[in-house]
Amino acid sequence: MSCHPKNYTNLVSDYRDKSSSAAKIFRRGENMCGIVGYIGSKNATDILLEGLGKLEYRGYDSAGIAVIKDNSIQVEKRKGRLAVLKESLEDNHVEGNVGIGHTRWATHGEPSDVNSHPHLNNEHTVAVVHNGIIENYLSLRQELTEKGYTFKSETDTEVLPFLIDYYYEGDLVEAVKKTISRLEGAYALGIIHKHHPDMLIAVRKDSPLVIGVGEGENFIASDIPAILNYTRQVYLIDNNEMAVLTNDSVEIMKTDGTKVDKEIYNVEWDVEAAEKGGYAHFMLKEIHEQPKAVKDTLSPRVDKDGMVNIKDLKLDEDYIKRINKVYMVACGTAYHAGLIGKAFIEKYANIPVVADIASEFRYANPFIDENTLMIVVSQSGETADTLAALRLAKEKGAKVLAVTNVVGSSIARESDYVFYTWAGPEIAVASTKAYTTQIIGLALISLDMALKRGTIDEIKVKEIVGQIWKLSDKIEMILNREEEIKDMANEIHTSEDIFYIGRGLDYYLALEGSLKLKEISYIHSEAMAAGELKHGTLALIDKKTPVIAIATQDSLYDKMLSNIKEVKARGAYVIGVAKETNKEIEEIVDKVIYIPEVMDELATPIAVVPLQMLAYYVALNRGCDIDKPRNLAKSVTVE
């Protein structure tokens, strides 16, 4: 029942000793580092630490800063939480007017002070922070070692300050350009040089990066919340672009030196939206924000007469009629939302949909042509595997529709059509309101497609939209039963194995409920189609094994009752989830969570809420770090 991270030193050691394809897969693991940079007249250290604090939700195992002061680069970096770095800085004061900061998620080398960023060259003239993975770092490392450079860390990043040093002949920009030309992989970089204390350089390829524009000061960051206390004027840096920042200017160019003219994006959402607002955790806050998020996502897309209106999506009617296949591609929670979207499109637009996990999609020889529509779903809009699938589809001539929550994200910019979910900032690693708004978005998209294909009439659309409008109030009703759900969590929080079962859409929901539980409570959990129980899984059910049985589909309700009886006969402790009109379930389960009456297709956005809350309170009882679960992070920005 421990919530402390497992030691994975052996795994890292195994990786270092191998050059096999398995090692390559580990190298390309999750890396959700945070980057902050500042140049101006204020104390950079204070701004860097504050910015890194705003990026803690991304997940990290170490933190560090580098600041130029008196013609030298001062560095402080520590394994562990940001608080460890701050404590160290109390004894080793670092200050200056230009600097870079970083929170690291280990991929190359275990978490340690030495492996933490920033990394420097041997003479400590160059400092670099890096989000991403340099895939050809081994060959570069060997080359640089032969040239006399001495490596201290096990990271891929350390080749960067050495390469910059090697190419530097007085022109830092030119040295960075030459360095970038040698790199393979994904990266967002922040770079400073002690001989250029009036300059901060940023580079981006396949890893998010923004530039904040202030008065007499400028900023770089992995994500907008890091700099929102200082500016709302932001440049969204695209792939293969670099920027040279001074106190008073920002020059953006391609990595080949071609100048880029770019419009400033004005951030309109309030910085307070990224704060907890009185809740114990961001996750709980975001669960409670779902009624508003649903309304915000729905309101701009429905006319006064109750008709779907997503004209801003610009889905051409002739094109929609030509579509003969849809690929629904996403990862994790977004994939689970995509499964619900698949059901909507197949039922109402009458188009076959293949739902696939983005990390597997490119390796399955997908059949894509100009009559294929790919729908990609990503909360952050930066999910690397999803972005790679998007690019493959476009190479093969398909159109891509993105469902995302982040304006100006990579996936949004590279897609042909974009549907923004207006969920607002989602800080907790475990996604909640993004999931419900993704389902709402996919439902509206399916209805719009169905209308254009003539597979549904306006009367039916208005009927469905009318029910979607009521979802917000029905979710609120579930939130009012929080104490009831908390009591259920008390009954099962000491369990080591928990099973989720369902049929049809309820099976898709079971996948999401199980994921939420394992993400934040670290309890082993599995979800399965209830009809498959007798094909093996019943062997795992014994006395007091918790089973969450989801039975919200009227068309499958009787069959689900039979499946529940199967697990009860083996001694399981069953918590049922059902519509409030189906009271028979009370006779065979130990506890039941009722949801308001709703059409089968729209039960999921309601029924997921008690599952989210159940996971939350189980994790709370186990003393887990709910907003920052071990080994996980918010945005998976490399493959």
Q: Report which of 222, 185, 220 is spatially closest to residue 33, judged by C-alpha positions.
A: 222
> What is the distance between the alpha carbons of residues 397 and 270, in angstroms, rounded to a whole number?
39
* Token code pair at residue 402: 């993105």
Q: Identify whether the C-beta of residue 191 lies closer than 8 Å to the C-beta of residue 243.
A: no
Active-site residue, from 6, 24, 33, 262: 33
Catalytic residue among 54, 177, 628, 634: 634
Q: What is d(CA 404, CA 528) in angstroms, rounded to the nearest whole number?
A: 27
User: Can 33 be counted among the known catalytic residues?
Assistant: yes
| Complete DSSP assignment for 283-306 | HHHHHHTHHHHHHHHHGGGB-TTS
Which residues are CB-neighbours of 349 under 8 A, at least 6 positions away?
Answer: 446, 449, 450, 453, 455, 456
Three-state SS sequence of 360-400: HHCCCCCCCCCCEEEEEEECCCCCHHHHHHHHHHHHCCCEE
Is 3 among the catalytic positions?
Answer: no
Q: Report which DSSP code applies to 263.
A: P
Q: Cβ atoms within 10 A of the Cβ of 92, count?
A: 9
Report the SS3 class of residue 353. strand
Q: Are 355 and 339 in contact (CB under 8 A)?
A: yes
For residue 118, say if its preceding peptide bond is cis, omega within 30 degrees of 0.
yes
Instruction: Write down the residue that tokens 């071609």 correspond to.
Output: 258
CA distance 506 to 512: 10
Q: In the block, which residue shows the tokens 């860390």?
A: 153
The residues near 526 (Cβ < 8 Å, ≥ 6 apart) are: 497, 499, 500, 514, 537
User: What is the distance between the alpha carbons of residues 538 and 532, in angstroms, rounded to a whole number?
Assistant: 9
| Burial (CB count <10 Å: 0-12, 13-18, 19+), residue 30 | middle
Asked if 130 and 107 count as a contact pair (C-beta separation under 8 A), the reply is no
Distance CA 459, CA 245 (A): 56
CA distances from 128 to 71, 117, 118, 176, 474 (A): 17, 7, 5, 11, 50
Torsion of CA 78, 79, 80, 81, to 10 degrees: 30
Span between the terminal Cα atoms of the chain, in Å:
30
Neighbouring C-beta atoms of residue 24, cutoff 10 Å: 12
Adjacency order of strands within the sheet including 119-120:
119-120, 126-134, 185-193, 200-205, 241-245, 250-254
Q: Point out the residues that are catalytic.
A: 33, 634
